[in-house]
Amino acid sequence: LYEHTNKVKVFYINGGEPMLIKEHFKFLERLVERGHTDVTLWYNINMTRMDDRVLDLWSNFSKVKVGASIDDLGDRNHYIRYPTDWDRVVKNLHIVAANDFIELDITQTVSWMNYTTLVTFWNWATELGIPVSHNPVYDPVFMSPDVLPEDLVSAAWNDIDSSAMPDYMKHKLKSYVNPSSQRGELWPQAQSYTLALDALRKQDIKRVMPEFAPYFPVEVDT
């Protein structure tokens, strides 16, 4: 990879989590040592790790873009991106935001688990002055927002329509669920998968996401 850096304008670096990969830091250090820093570093990272070492390295490059992979707020983000610590995520988000040379946004992965809280999340990020972009889940397909029961979709759409989101974003988010091809038949698979994870992790979706309580009547032994 290093041998071809003189031909590269952008390095797009995403998961597995780059901040856990030692070779990632070695690669950046070698680029700095050899003066190959006239490139854009573009990341998707989950904000669980951030330190002076990476900030010092990033400051050498012509442009750094960070897409923070955050899907919901508080315990909900911990549940979706288990076992991330919310306080650490927020602390690291503020650290990155405080460095003017970094172009920061949030890349929110949209699944059925956070489809009903997209507006709340967008409002939170907007208050912080951080733009939000969205990527829908395609695989596994039973995690797509397209599998949600119709009443939850209707509630989410009402929330989106009445929000201050820009129109293009409203249209995009609503397009993630197609009424003519909704995959409601996959909802039982989503339920089974969630209950299996809850049992493994000693969690209960009904406690973290109470809007789903009517759809998960089975109790999880925690």
pLDDT tens, position by position, 184-207: 789 999 999 999 999 999 999 999
pLDDT tens, position by position, 152-186: 999 999 999 999 999 999 999 999 998 766 687 89
**Model's pTM, two decimal places?**
0.92
For residue 220, pLDDT beyond 50: no
Cβ-based neighbour number of residue 211 at 10 Å:
13
pLDDT at 57: 97
CA distance 81 to 74: 11
Cβ-based neighbour number of residue 173 at 10 Å:
23
Cα torsion through 81, 84, 89, 90, rounded to 10: 90
